Amino acid sequence: MVINLAMYHLRAIETLHRMRSFTLAAEDMKISQPAVSRALAEAERRIGGRLFDRSTRAVVPTHLGEEVSAHAAMAVATYDEALGRITGHMNGDDGIVRVACLPSVTATLLPAVISDFRRDLPQVGLKIHDEPQENVAEKILNGTVDLGILALDSSIPAELEVEGVASDRLMAIMPVGHRLAQREELVWTDFAREKFIGFDAVTSIGPLVTHAFAKHDVAVDIVQTARSIPAVGGLVSAGLGVSVVPEMVVPLVKFEGIESVPISPAIERTLVVVHRKRGPLPAVVERFRQSLLS
């Protein structure tokens, strides 16, 4: 036997059980008292049993009514929660935001944005993917993430919308006591006489630094390369050479024994947020994008 009850039947049963009054139930449901009576009568007919005993003074659930009301209450609560979630998704108050970004961005730019965003929307889920430059755009194109944050360069596919987020100039880092640490500013040719710790080409920093040296016709003695900022900082701290990093990440490599000095003429790394051009972003993703751009 299959009993076909609509949500308005279940809501009438739950409300009557809670209010014990047709008048109060009608007020709570914002419908007329006859409408509540009709909903209950139809529910009892479909169930095949009486759910409430009515008198001029009270509405009392029967044994069957107590059992059915318990299930009705659970169904109504689940339904209302689902509607609330759907509304939240449409308004951008609920859902999940998936972001792929450079590890340096995860450690520097993103924490403050996430903190402000979570304060306003604590119920929103955030999934952060630390990725090298070459993987960020790929994850957006294959649908793994909604947004990406990476360094602006010519490799970003034309299918992606690109908006600037931040920029920071390149800085030299070297061990404390190094002869370059005493200078207020360096020029690119100063690196020609130094052992250099480079970044792998898959990073956002490596190609940018390589381009800077090529632009100023500087040949450097690369004694070691590494992929992560802490690794490069550790090698510099150990006295194996000097390096160049974006100013934003200098705090991440400020181990005991490392100094930083600006380089002239300044060369900047531009960070951008990217997403697919096709169709509007989900409301909650759009709210996070606005947080990044503000």
* For residue 132, cis peptide bond before it (omega within 30 degrees of 0): no
Helix axes 22-29, 7-19, angle to 10 degrees: 130
Write out pLDDT tens, residues 51-96.
999 877 788 999 999 999 999 999 988 888 777 767 666 665 567 8
Looking at domain 7-91, which of 3.10.450.40, 1.10.10.10, 1.20.120.530, 2.30.40.10 is its CATH number? 1.10.10.10
Q: Cα separation of 163 and 271, whole Å?
A: 9
Q: Can you tell me the mean pLDDT for 89-105?
A: 79
Portion of the chain with pLDDT greater than 90, in percent: 63
Q: What is the pLDDT of residue 88?
A: 62
In this structure, the chain runs to a length of: 294
Q: What is the pLDDT of residue 4?
A: 87
Burial of 191 (0-12, 13-18, 19+ CB in 10 A): buried
> Which has more confidence, 212 or 83?
212
Q: Is the pLDDT of residue 187 over 80?
A: yes
Q: What is the pLDDT of residue 34?
A: 93
CATH class of 166-269: alpha beta
Contact 69, 13 (CB under 8 A): yes
Q: Indicate the pLDDT class of residue 222, thresholds 50, 70 and 90.
A: very high
pTM of the model: 0.67
Listed by start position, the domains of the chain span 7-91, 95-159+273-293, 166-269
Write out pLDDT tens, residues 193-211.
899 999 988 888 998 999 9
Q: What is the pLDDT of residue 92?
A: 56
Q: What is the pLDDT of residue 10?
A: 93
The CATH-assigned architecture of domain 95-159+273-293 is 3-Layer(aba) Sandwich (3.40)
Mean pLDDT of the chain: 89
- Do 7-91 and 166-269 come out as alike in CATH topology? no
Contact 149, 110 (CB under 8 A): yes
